[in-house]
Amino acid sequence: MKSIVVKKPNELVIEEREVPQPAKGEVRVKVKLAGICGSDSHIYRGHNPFAKYPRVIGHEFFGIIDEVGEGVDRSRIGERVSIDPVISCGCCYPCSVGRPNVCSSLTVLGVHRDGGFSQYTTVPSNNAYTIPDDICDEFAVMIEPFTIAANATGHLKPTTDDIALIYGAGPMGLTSVQALKGVYQVKQVIVVDRIDERLAMAQTSGADLVINNSQLSLKDELEKRNIKPTIIIDAACHPTILSEAIAIASPAARILIMGFSSDPCQITQQGITSKELSIFSSRLNANKFPVVIEWLKKKMIDPQKLITHQFDYTQVVQAIETFEKDQKQCCKVLLTFS
Protein backbone atom coordinates (compact mmCIF):
# COMPACT_ATOMS: atom_id res chain seq x y z
CA MET A 1 0.00 0.00 0.00
CA LYS A 2 0.98 3.64 -0.36
CA SER A 3 1.15 6.00 2.64
CA ILE A 4 1.77 9.75 2.78
CA VAL A 5 4.62 10.15 5.25
CA VAL A 6 6.15 13.33 6.61
CA LYS A 7 9.68 12.03 7.26
CA LYS A 8 10.75 15.28 8.93
CA PRO A 9 9.69 18.93 8.60
CA ASN A 10 9.36 19.90 4.91
CA GLU A 11 10.07 16.35 3.67
CA LEU A 12 6.96 14.52 2.50
CA VAL A 13 7.09 11.23 0.58
CA ILE A 14 4.59 8.72 -0.72
CA GLU A 15 6.02 5.52 0.68
CA GLU A 16 5.36 1.83 -0.02
CA ARG A 17 4.43 0.13 3.27
CA GLU A 18 3.06 -3.24 4.39
CA VAL A 19 -0.72 -3.31 4.71
CA PRO A 20 -1.16 -3.23 8.54
CA GLN A 21 -2.90 -6.01 10.47
CA PRO A 22 -5.52 -4.81 12.97
CA ALA A 23 -4.54 -5.55 16.57
CA LYS A 24 -6.96 -6.78 19.24
CA GLY A 25 -9.95 -4.41 19.40
CA GLU A 26 -9.02 -2.65 16.13
CA VAL A 27 -10.42 -2.49 12.63
CA ARG A 28 -8.56 -1.93 9.37
CA VAL A 29 -9.97 0.82 7.18
CA LYS A 30 -9.52 1.00 3.41
CA VAL A 31 -9.43 4.78 3.14
CA LYS A 32 -11.57 6.39 0.42
CA LEU A 33 -11.45 10.10 1.23
CA ALA A 34 -9.48 12.35 3.58
CA GLY A 35 -9.58 16.07 4.34
CA ILE A 36 -6.64 18.43 4.70
CA CYS A 37 -6.64 20.55 7.88
CA GLY A 38 -4.30 23.30 9.03
CA SER A 39 -2.65 20.90 11.47
CA ASP A 40 -1.57 18.59 8.59
CA SER A 41 0.20 21.52 7.00
CA HIS A 42 1.68 22.51 10.38
CA ILE A 43 3.12 19.01 10.88
CA TYR A 44 4.48 19.06 7.31
CA ARG A 45 6.12 22.46 7.92
CA GLY A 46 7.43 21.54 11.38
CA HIS A 47 5.15 23.94 13.26
CA ASN A 48 3.20 21.45 15.39
CA PRO A 49 4.82 21.07 18.82
CA PHE A 50 3.00 17.75 19.48
CA ALA A 51 4.11 15.93 16.30
CA LYS A 52 6.69 13.13 16.26
CA TYR A 53 8.39 12.16 12.96
CA PRO A 54 8.18 10.21 10.73
CA ARG A 55 4.40 10.51 10.68
CA VAL A 56 1.56 9.46 8.39
CA ILE A 57 -0.55 12.62 8.66
CA GLY A 58 -4.34 12.97 8.34
CA HIS A 59 -7.03 12.97 11.00
CA GLU A 60 -10.10 13.61 8.85
CA PHE A 61 -10.87 10.41 6.95
CA PHE A 62 -13.56 8.05 5.76
CA GLY A 63 -13.44 4.54 4.31
CA ILE A 64 -14.62 0.93 4.48
CA ILE A 65 -13.72 -1.62 7.15
CA ASP A 66 -11.96 -4.46 5.31
CA GLU A 67 -10.58 -6.49 8.26
CA VAL A 68 -11.09 -6.72 12.00
CA GLY A 69 -8.81 -7.70 14.88
CA GLU A 70 -9.50 -10.14 17.71
CA GLY A 71 -12.61 -9.34 19.72
CA VAL A 72 -14.29 -7.27 16.98
CA ASP A 73 -17.44 -8.64 15.34
CA ARG A 74 -16.65 -9.79 11.79
CA SER A 75 -20.01 -8.43 10.69
CA ARG A 76 -18.39 -4.98 10.75
CA ILE A 77 -16.40 -5.86 7.61
CA GLY A 78 -17.85 -3.81 4.73
CA GLU A 79 -19.16 -1.00 6.97
CA ARG A 80 -18.73 2.58 5.76
CA VAL A 81 -17.01 4.42 8.61
CA SER A 82 -15.75 7.88 9.64
CA ILE A 83 -12.95 7.92 12.16
CA ASP A 84 -12.82 9.90 15.38
CA PRO A 85 -9.11 10.77 15.72
CA VAL A 86 -9.32 11.13 19.53
CA ILE A 87 -7.97 8.06 21.35
CA SER A 88 -8.31 8.22 25.13
CA CYS A 89 -7.56 5.95 28.09
CA GLY A 90 -11.11 5.92 29.48
CA CYS A 91 -10.07 6.02 33.12
CA CYS A 92 -8.33 9.33 33.97
CA TYR A 93 -10.18 12.31 35.48
CA PRO A 94 -11.09 14.04 32.17
CA CYS A 95 -12.25 10.73 30.67
CA SER A 96 -14.37 10.05 33.78
CA VAL A 97 -16.20 13.36 33.31
CA GLY A 98 -16.90 12.84 29.62
CA ARG A 99 -13.92 14.83 28.30
CA PRO A 100 -11.81 12.21 26.45
CA ASN A 101 -10.59 14.99 24.13
CA VAL A 102 -8.32 16.18 26.94
CA CYS A 103 -7.42 12.70 28.24
CA SER A 104 -4.27 12.73 30.38
CA SER A 105 -2.67 10.34 27.88
CA LEU A 106 -4.35 11.69 24.75
CA THR A 107 -3.38 10.18 21.40
CA VAL A 108 -4.56 11.90 18.23
CA LEU A 109 -4.47 9.96 14.98
CA GLY A 110 -2.27 11.71 12.43
CA VAL A 111 -0.42 13.62 15.16
CA HIS A 112 0.79 11.23 17.89
CA ARG A 113 0.07 8.03 15.93
CA ASP A 114 -0.05 7.33 12.19
CA GLY A 115 -3.20 8.74 10.63
CA GLY A 116 -5.44 8.42 7.62
CA PHE A 117 -3.44 9.69 4.60
CA SER A 118 -2.79 6.09 3.60
CA GLN A 119 -4.55 3.50 1.46
CA TYR A 120 -5.11 1.41 4.60
CA THR A 121 -4.88 2.19 8.30
CA THR A 122 -5.83 0.55 11.59
CA VAL A 123 -7.83 2.26 14.34
CA PRO A 124 -9.57 1.22 17.57
CA SER A 125 -12.98 -0.20 16.57
CA ASN A 126 -14.79 2.25 18.89
CA ASN A 127 -13.30 5.15 16.92
CA ALA A 128 -14.86 3.91 13.65
CA TYR A 129 -18.41 5.30 13.45
CA THR A 130 -20.87 3.62 11.09
CA ILE A 131 -22.20 5.98 8.45
CA PRO A 132 -25.83 5.56 7.38
CA ASP A 133 -26.35 4.91 3.64
CA ASP A 134 -28.13 8.25 3.14
CA ILE A 135 -24.96 10.18 4.07
CA CYS A 136 -22.65 10.39 1.02
CA ASP A 137 -18.87 9.82 1.19
CA GLU A 138 -18.04 13.55 0.79
CA PHE A 139 -20.25 14.44 3.76
CA ALA A 140 -18.94 11.54 5.85
CA VAL A 141 -15.35 12.79 5.54
CA MET A 142 -16.48 16.24 6.74
CA ILE A 143 -17.84 14.95 10.05
CA GLU A 144 -14.59 15.55 11.94
CA PRO A 145 -14.34 19.31 11.20
CA PHE A 146 -18.00 19.70 12.18
CA THR A 147 -17.31 17.92 15.49
CA ILE A 148 -15.08 20.89 16.40
CA ALA A 149 -18.12 23.16 16.04
CA ALA A 150 -20.28 20.62 17.90
CA ASN A 151 -17.82 20.64 20.79
CA ALA A 152 -17.58 24.45 20.87
CA THR A 153 -21.33 25.00 20.70
CA GLY A 154 -21.84 22.21 23.25
CA HIS A 155 -19.97 24.42 25.73
CA LEU A 156 -21.80 27.61 24.71
CA LYS A 157 -25.35 26.19 24.70
CA PRO A 158 -26.67 28.73 22.16
CA THR A 159 -30.35 29.77 22.14
CA THR A 160 -32.54 31.44 19.53
CA ASP A 161 -32.14 34.75 21.43
CA ASP A 162 -28.38 34.86 21.05
CA ILE A 163 -26.44 37.25 18.88
CA ALA A 164 -23.27 35.42 17.90
CA LEU A 165 -20.06 36.86 16.50
CA ILE A 166 -17.43 34.60 14.94
CA TYR A 167 -13.89 35.70 14.25
CA GLY A 168 -12.49 33.91 11.18
CA ALA A 169 -14.26 32.49 8.13
CA GLY A 170 -11.94 29.54 7.59
CA PRO A 171 -13.22 25.97 7.91
CA MET A 172 -13.57 26.33 11.71
CA GLY A 173 -15.53 29.58 11.49
CA LEU A 174 -17.77 28.22 8.73
CA THR A 175 -18.63 24.97 10.54
CA SER A 176 -19.50 27.14 13.57
CA VAL A 177 -21.76 29.39 11.45
CA GLN A 178 -23.60 26.36 10.09
CA ALA A 179 -24.04 24.89 13.58
CA LEU A 180 -25.28 28.17 15.09
CA LYS A 181 -27.76 28.84 12.27
CA GLY A 182 -28.73 25.33 11.11
CA VAL A 183 -28.82 23.52 14.45
CA TYR A 184 -29.43 26.19 17.10
CA GLN A 185 -31.27 28.78 14.96
CA VAL A 186 -29.44 31.61 16.66
CA LYS A 187 -31.12 34.96 15.92
CA GLN A 188 -28.15 36.71 14.34
CA VAL A 189 -24.70 35.43 13.34
CA ILE A 190 -22.02 37.97 12.46
CA VAL A 191 -18.74 36.84 10.89
CA VAL A 192 -15.56 38.91 10.90
CA ASP A 193 -12.60 38.21 8.61
CA ARG A 194 -10.03 40.08 6.57
CA ILE A 195 -10.71 38.30 3.29
CA ASP A 196 -13.86 39.25 1.32
CA GLU A 197 -14.00 35.92 -0.53
CA ARG A 198 -14.08 34.06 2.80
CA LEU A 199 -16.79 36.39 4.10
CA ALA A 200 -18.81 35.51 0.98
CA MET A 201 -18.46 31.83 1.95
CA ALA A 202 -19.67 32.72 5.45
CA GLN A 203 -22.81 34.27 3.92
CA THR A 204 -23.36 31.12 1.86
CA SER A 205 -23.07 29.13 5.09
CA GLY A 206 -25.76 31.27 6.75
CA ALA A 207 -24.09 34.37 8.27
CA ASP A 208 -26.56 37.26 8.63
CA LEU A 209 -23.91 39.98 8.63
CA VAL A 210 -20.26 39.97 7.61
CA ILE A 211 -17.62 42.55 8.49
CA ASN A 212 -14.19 42.91 6.91
CA ASN A 213 -12.01 44.19 9.77
CA SER A 214 -8.83 44.68 7.71
CA GLN A 215 -9.41 48.46 7.44
CA LEU A 216 -12.22 49.08 9.96
CA SER A 217 -12.51 49.09 13.73
CA LEU A 218 -14.81 46.19 14.61
CA LYS A 219 -15.77 47.92 17.86
CA ASP A 220 -16.93 51.05 15.95
CA GLU A 221 -18.82 48.98 13.37
CA LEU A 222 -20.72 47.13 16.11
CA GLU A 223 -21.42 50.32 18.10
CA LYS A 224 -22.76 51.99 14.94
CA ARG A 225 -25.27 49.15 14.61
CA ASN A 226 -25.89 48.91 18.37
CA ILE A 227 -24.82 45.23 18.37
CA LYS A 228 -23.58 43.60 21.61
CA PRO A 229 -22.73 39.95 20.89
CA THR A 230 -23.94 37.48 23.51
CA ILE A 231 -21.77 34.68 22.08
CA ILE A 232 -18.29 35.16 20.61
CA ILE A 233 -16.27 32.35 19.02
CA ASP A 234 -12.64 33.02 18.18
CA ALA A 235 -11.99 30.81 15.15
CA ALA A 236 -9.21 33.10 13.87
CA CYS A 237 -7.09 32.50 16.96
CA HIS A 238 -4.79 35.48 16.97
CA PRO A 239 -3.68 36.20 20.57
CA THR A 240 -4.90 39.83 20.35
CA ILE A 241 -8.49 38.78 19.72
CA LEU A 242 -9.50 37.78 23.27
CA SER A 243 -9.06 41.29 24.67
CA GLU A 244 -11.14 42.78 21.85
CA ALA A 245 -13.78 40.07 22.34
CA ILE A 246 -14.02 40.98 26.04
CA ALA A 247 -14.44 44.66 25.12
CA ILE A 248 -17.22 44.12 22.54
CA ALA A 249 -19.15 41.39 24.40
CA SER A 250 -22.54 42.01 25.98
CA PRO A 251 -22.70 41.68 29.77
CA ALA A 252 -23.37 38.01 30.63
CA ALA A 253 -21.95 36.90 27.26
CA ARG A 254 -20.07 33.64 26.62
CA ILE A 255 -16.74 33.72 24.78
CA LEU A 256 -15.05 30.63 23.35
CA ILE A 257 -11.44 30.36 22.21
CA MET A 258 -9.96 27.53 20.16
CA GLY A 259 -6.43 28.73 19.47
CA PHE A 260 -3.14 27.13 20.51
CA SER A 261 -0.81 30.13 20.40
CA SER A 262 1.79 30.19 23.16
CA ASP A 263 2.04 33.99 22.95
CA PRO A 264 0.55 35.87 25.92
CA CYS A 265 -2.53 38.06 25.51
CA GLN A 266 -3.41 41.06 27.66
CA ILE A 267 -6.72 40.86 29.48
CA THR A 268 -7.90 42.33 32.77
CA GLN A 269 -9.98 40.86 35.57
CA GLN A 270 -12.12 43.99 35.48
CA GLY A 271 -12.97 43.53 31.80
CA ILE A 272 -14.26 40.03 32.51
CA THR A 273 -15.79 40.33 35.98
CA SER A 274 -17.57 43.65 35.46
CA LYS A 275 -19.70 41.96 32.79
CA GLU A 276 -19.62 38.52 34.47
CA LEU A 277 -18.42 36.97 31.20
CA SER A 278 -17.94 33.22 30.82
CA ILE A 279 -14.83 32.21 28.91
CA PHE A 280 -14.64 28.69 27.48
CA SER A 281 -12.03 26.86 25.48
CA SER A 282 -12.61 23.91 23.19
CA ARG A 283 -10.18 21.26 21.94
CA LEU A 284 -10.97 18.60 19.33
CA ASN A 285 -14.20 16.79 20.23
CA ALA A 286 -15.65 14.83 23.11
CA ASN A 287 -17.79 12.02 21.65
CA LYS A 288 -19.37 14.34 19.09
CA PHE A 289 -19.38 12.01 16.05
CA PRO A 290 -22.92 10.71 16.81
CA VAL A 291 -24.08 14.32 17.26
CA VAL A 292 -22.82 15.42 13.84
CA ILE A 293 -24.11 12.24 12.16
CA GLU A 294 -27.54 13.21 13.54
CA TRP A 295 -27.14 16.79 12.22
CA LEU A 296 -26.35 15.36 8.76
CA LYS A 297 -29.29 12.94 8.88
CA LYS A 298 -31.60 15.86 9.69
CA LYS A 299 -29.92 18.03 6.99
CA MET A 300 -29.20 20.77 9.53
CA ILE A 301 -25.73 21.38 8.06
CA ASP A 302 -24.39 21.31 4.50
CA PRO A 303 -20.69 20.31 4.28
CA GLN A 304 -20.75 20.79 0.49
CA LYS A 305 -20.58 24.55 1.07
CA LEU A 306 -17.04 24.14 2.45
CA ILE A 307 -15.58 21.71 -0.10
CA THR A 308 -13.69 23.67 -2.76
CA HIS A 309 -11.08 21.20 -4.09
CA GLN A 310 -10.44 17.47 -4.60
CA PHE A 311 -7.07 15.95 -5.54
CA ASP A 312 -5.85 12.38 -5.98
CA TYR A 313 -3.60 11.44 -3.06
CA THR A 314 -0.59 11.26 -5.42
CA GLN A 315 -0.94 15.06 -5.80
CA VAL A 316 -0.79 15.64 -2.04
CA VAL A 317 2.00 18.25 -2.16
CA GLN A 318 0.05 20.33 -4.72
CA ALA A 319 -3.08 19.88 -2.57
CA ILE A 320 -1.35 21.11 0.61
CA GLU A 321 0.28 24.04 -1.23
CA THR A 322 -3.09 25.08 -2.70
CA PHE A 323 -4.59 24.88 0.80
CA GLU A 324 -1.76 26.99 2.24
CA LYS A 325 -1.46 29.66 -0.48
CA ASP A 326 -4.95 30.25 -1.80
CA GLN A 327 -7.11 31.28 1.16
CA LYS A 328 -9.36 33.34 -1.16
CA GLN A 329 -10.54 30.42 -3.26
CA CYS A 330 -9.73 27.45 -1.07
CA CYS A 331 -11.50 26.15 2.00
CA LYS A 332 -11.72 22.36 2.44
CA VAL A 333 -9.46 20.26 0.23
CA LEU A 334 -10.19 16.54 -0.05
CA LEU A 335 -7.80 13.76 -1.09
CA THR A 336 -9.18 10.70 -2.89
CA PHE A 337 -7.55 7.30 -2.37
CA SER A 338 -8.22 4.73 -5.09
State how far the alpha carbon of 55 is from the alpha carbons of 139, 196, 248, in Å: 26, 35, 42
Give the residue at shortest CB distance from ligand NAI: 170
Nearer to ligand NAI, 68 or 284 (CB): 284
Torsion, Cα of 253, 145, 12, 64 (10° steps): 160
Kindly identify the residues of this chain, within the stretch 140-179, that bind ligand NAI according to CB under 6 A.
148, 167-173
- Give backbone dihedrals phi and psi of 22, rounded to 5 degrees, phi first: -65, 135
**Residue 235 makes contact with ligand NAI by CB under 6 A:** yes
Q: Which segments of 90-192 does DSSP mark as H helices, in order?
A: 93-96, 137-140, 143-156, 171-178
Instruction: Return the ∠ at Cα 34 (arms to 33 and 40), rounded to 5°.
Output: 165
- The yes or no reply on residue 113 touching ligand NAI (CB under 6 A) is no
Can you tell me which of 11, 260, 268, 312 binds ligand NAI, judged by CB under 6 A?
A: 260
- Judge contact between 102 and 283, C-beta under 8 A: yes
What is the DSSP annotation of 218-234?
A: HHHHHHHTT---SEEEE
CB of 239 to ligand NAI, least distance (A): 10
Residue 81 as a binder of ligand NAI (CB under 6 A): the answer is: no
Region of 74-82, 131-139, 235-243, 290-298 interacting with ligand NAI (CB under 6 A): 235-243
- Output the smallest distance, CB 18 to ligand NAI, in A: 31
Question: In the bound complex, what is the minimum distance in angstroms from residue 34's beta carbon to ligand NAI?
Answer: 15
Residues 193-212 that bind ligand NAI (CB under 6 A): 193-195, 198
Q: How far is the CB of 139 from ligand NAI (least distance, A)?
A: 18
CA dihedral 253, 281, 81, 137 (to 10 degrees): 60
Q: Which residues bind ligand NAI (CB under 6 A)?
A: 38, 148, 167-173, 192-195, 198, 213, 235-238, 241, 258-260, 282-284, 327
